[in-house]
Amino acid sequence: MATSLRRFGRLALISRNWSGRGFSTSPSGEINSYSNIQQSEGKSINLFSAINQALHIALETDPRSYVFGEDVGFGGVFRCTTGLADRFGKHRVFNTPLCEQGIVGFAVGLAAMGNRAIAEIQFADYIYPAFDQIVNEAAKFRYRSGNQFNCGGLTIRAPYGAVGHGGHYHSQSPEAFFCHVPGIKVVIPRSPRQAKGLLLSCIRDPNPVVFFEPKWLYRLAVEEVPEDDYMLPLSESEIIQEGSDITLVGWGAQLSIMEQACIEAEKDGISCELIDLKTLIPWDKETVETSVRKTGRLLISHEAPVTGGFGAEISASIVERCFLRLEAPVARICGLDTPLSTCFRTLLYAHQEQDIGCNQVNNKLLAILLL
Amino acid sequence: MAFCLTKAKKLIYNHLKSKMGSLGIINHGNWTHPVSFSHPIPQNLKKPDTFFTNNTTLFASRRFESIIAGKHLDSLRNVFDEIEVLNFPGGKVKFTSEMKFLSESPEERIHCYRVLDDNGQPTVHSNSVQIGEEVAVKMYNDMVTLQLMDSIFYEAQRQGRISFYLTTIGEEAINIASAAALNIDDLIFPQYREAGVLLWRGFSLQEFANQCFGNRDDNGKGRQMPIHYGSKKHNYFTVASTVATQISHAVGAAYALKMDGRDACTVTYFGDGGTSTGDFHAALNFAAVMEAPVIFFCRNNGWAISTPVSDQFRSDGIVVRGQAYGVRSIRVDGNDALAIFSAIQAARRMAIGESRPVLIEALTYRAGHHSTSDDSTKYRPVHEIEWWRVARDPVSRFKKWIESNGWWSDEAEFELRSSVRKQLLHAIQVAEKVEKPAIAEIFTDVYDVPPANLCEQETLLRETIKRHPQDYPSHFQFPL
């Protein structure tokens, strides 16, 4: 906690600097510190409402912020932008034509003028037409100009992950593609409280950020969320549960499955340390390294296909740093290297079906690894 | 949209059926009401009258005036009129019993606006903006400077002093005249063949040289290939090699200008090849919908590296695309500085005054190779290049005009050329001697502050260089 506080202090300092740089973005008044939000009681809300609150605050605290994307005007297909257009006007919250490369290109230009451009891509599966704009434009805007120009006010929000009948094109977790791109940040929250605090940090961060929202949890995850303005630090992971036998690393919706696996493992006498990475690039290597030095084992789990997933990067980095301390090969429990099949969803995503016990597959694999 | 149409059709059908059955007469006075397409006519449908007659008539009302019943007509006539239109988002659409496809092209190609003929003489009845002596002479100065810079930097590349170069030969008028018609507050989102815009705005020859040599004084810290200029001071966004990606940035930035109530627009340049990209189409559509004050300037120079326009598109060039997106557009002679100046100034006034995008297509010719990595005689006839260079050279055409005004002389020409040549050679000599950026600059500006992984990698790189100095360039070139 002391570390968290100290790091947060640094973040707050950065936020003050933004206004000095002509970024009219520092929220007026004091932002709650990390310790305050632990104590402050909020209302129980779900994840999409937490995102909605964050967007309200972002628009309220900075007149130079804009929210836009396909169907955003009426509240968005996942209701994340509900009420924003009525409150802040159609000039600041608006629909765009159905064209992802146009949305991000427009957003880069808007952000380059010192604005907070908060662009929504309706599904992460549809972000690829904007890949060029993200990789070649947003990510290199500052570098190629020698810091004369930047589009740091850009935040791209996109719902990711499998849920229900989504199939190939409403289920993908494309985070690894973006983790190969210097110049952007990739952030994924695990819960409503995290979503609000991290999204506000992303919006106010002076770098372009891709923010993936776990759509499985939009309505499912409910948590007490402080109603006021607070930010959670980027590039700082969090130990959700301390343990001594194995380190588990994950992000986003997958953590809810991993948490269940930890409970199951506990019954078998296995003590798990669970880490939420939160920011995938630039990621908090130190926390993971320290944990693995303690436990001697590492398991990474993500929903995206295992091959070339971000788990591979974590695995390689930790082997480089902790080779002699590792007592078992680093394990990856991840998605299959296949597109997502709609008819097999009850098999592949058993954890999402209420009548099936949580994550039996993961738990079994976990137990095997620990033997 | 499909849903609305289906719904409308069903409503129409039901209504017809019931009315026909009971009354035996067609009475559709109210069928449009349940289908509530209440969108106002978009502003973009305003008919662009010429810049000089500032009279804006509603395009929609003019277009549909034949179906608007006059006050003296009886109500029955009114009823029969209404059945022939579909009230659809964007305005009423007339029905017709004639099955007729739109032609793929206009009967005659869209005309090209010009002011000066090939001999530099103003054409009769030309409506153009008046340009005074001071501006005209500066325009000519900068066109000549751009030409000389191109020829000297091109040679520097041939001598191996810089790695790459790309000329604007043949497009000097586009570069300089468009820049001259703008205000310095207007933001430029360039492709890569518009160095003249920066020159007009006061970017010095030394600054051009520093960028091409990638030295410590380059604004871009030597990170990009030569000719990738950028200058915050001159409101000129840094060039990227990617084609057409800048077009939609100009729309987002224009929207910001509009929201801030600024008396400025954005201008983005691109070539004929760039109009085939998704970004071009996305940007035009976004600009029309967002009503953004942006000028899209297409330099149709006939060639995208070796690809002629006949392999690029089958439309009548670029100008016709504007109307499809609801964007005003004009075709101008890209080798006529006065035509470009006039068109840009009019476009700027419309863009800012009416919050709308404007598309300009300038017909020209890339009289040089694509870049120093290209030999265009491999794919196009030399005589064609020569004809454009000699008969249609935009610089000599403009020179004839200022000479005929008595604003230019042979002595002035001689002085200008020798002075600019000296400055250029000096700039190259200076740029060559300035040291390279420090190694730390590899790691800065990726993010606002280098994160842990970059700090770690920087330390590793420095240690490796120290351990194996013989494998790395000397410290003089890349200061640690």
Mean pLDDT by 10 residues, chain B (480 residues): 42 44 39 42 47 40 40 51 80 94 92 94 84 97 98 97 97 98 98 98 98 97 98 98 98 98 98 98 98 98 96 97 97 98 98 98 97 95 95 96 97 98 98 95 98 97 91 70
Q: Which chain B residues contact residue A149 at CB under 8 A?
A: 230, 232, 237-238
pLDDT at A357: 35
Give the pLDDT band of residue A50 (cuts 50, 70, 90). Answer: very high
pLDDT at B22: 40
Q: How far is the CA of B26 from the CAs of B18, B29, B408, in angstroms?
A: 10, 9, 75
Q: Which chain A residues contact residue B290 at CB under 8 A?
A: 106
Chain A and chain B share a number of CB contacts under 8 A equal to: 145
The two structure tokens encoding residue A61: 């605290």
Contact check, Cβ <8 Å, A115/B250:
no
Residue A324: CB atoms within 10 Å:
5
Q: Which of residues 262-301 of B touch A (CB under 8 A)?
A: 266, 278-279, 282-283, 285-286, 289-290
Mutate to test the interface with B, among A116, A143, A151, A284 (most CBs of B within 10 A): A143
Contact check, Cβ <8 Å, A105/B252:
yes
- CB–CB of A253/A191 below 8 Å? no
| pLDDT tens readout for residues A288-324 | 999 999 999 999 999 999 999 999 999 999 999 999 9
Contact check, Cβ <8 Å, B446/A115:
no
Instruction: Report the SS3 class of residue B42.
Output: coil
The average pLDDT across A231-244 equals: 98
Mutate to test the interface with B, among A18, A65, A88, A145 (most CBs of B within 10 A): A145
Mutate to test the interface with A, among B189, B448, B455, B456 (most CBs of A within 10 A): B448
Q: Are strands B328-333 and B358-363 parallel, antiparallel or unpaired?
A: parallel
- Comparing CA positions, the residue from A136, A141, A134 lying closest to residue A211 is A134
Q: Which chain B residues contact residue A111 at CB under 8 A?
A: 252
SS3 content of chain A, % helix, strand, coil (to 5): 45, 20, 40
Name which of A101, A147, A286 is nearest B279 (Cβ-Cβ).
A101
| Interface ipTM above 0.90 | no
Q: Which residues pair with B307 in a beta bridge?
A: B304
Contact check, Cβ <8 Å, B448/A235:
no
Q: A147 to chain B nearest CA, in Å? A: 6
Closest residue in A to B257 (Cα–Cα): A113
Q: B285 to chain A nearest CA, in Å? A: 8
Contact check, Cβ <8 Å, B285/A102:
yes
Give the pLDDT band of residue A344 (cuts 50, 70, 90). Answer: confident
Q: Which amino acid is at B245?
A: T
Instruction: Report the SS3 class of residue A183.
Output: coil
Give the pLDDT band of residue A346 (cuts 50, 70, 90). Answer: low
Closest residue in A to B443 (Cα–Cα): A143
Which domains occur in chain A, in start order? 2-225 (3.40.50.970), 238-370 (3.40.50.920)
Contact check, Cβ <8 Å, A147/B254:
no
Contact check, Cβ <8 Å, A146/B445:
yes
CATH annotation of B133-433: 3.40.50.970
Closest residue in A to B242 (Cα–Cα): A136
Domain boundaries of chain B, sorted by first residue:
2-94, 133-433, 439-471
Taking the C-alpha atoms of B151, B156, B157 and B161 in order, what is their torsion angle to the nearest 10 degrees? -170
Residues of B belonging to the active site: 155, 241, 370-371
Distance in angstroms (rounded) separating the CA atoms of residues B263 and A299: 58
Q: How far is the CA of B84 from the CAs of B9, B25, B29, B79, in angstroms?
A: 13, 15, 11, 9
| pLDDT tens readout for residues B386-435 | 999 999 999 999 999 999 999 999 999 999 999 999 999 999 999 999 99
pLDDT at B47: 52
Q: Which chain A residues contact residue B451 at CB under 8 A?
A: 235, 282
pLDDT at A8 over 90: no
Q: Which of residues 324-363 of B touch A (CB under 8 A)?
A: none
The average pLDDT across A128-138 equals: 98
pLDDT at A278 over 80: yes
Contact check, Cβ <8 Å, A111/B252:
yes
Q: A117 to chain B nearest CA, in Å? A: 9
Contact check, Cβ <8 Å, A109/B256:
yes
Closest residue in A to B256 (Cα–Cα): A110
Length of chain A: 371
Length of chain B: 480
| pLDDT tens readout for residues A57-106 | 999 999 999 999 999 999 999 999 999 999 999 999 999 999 999 999 99
Closest residue in B to A119 (Cα–Cα): B252
Show the beta-strand stretches assigned E in A313-361.
331-335
Instruction: Report the SS3 class of residue A249.
Output: strand
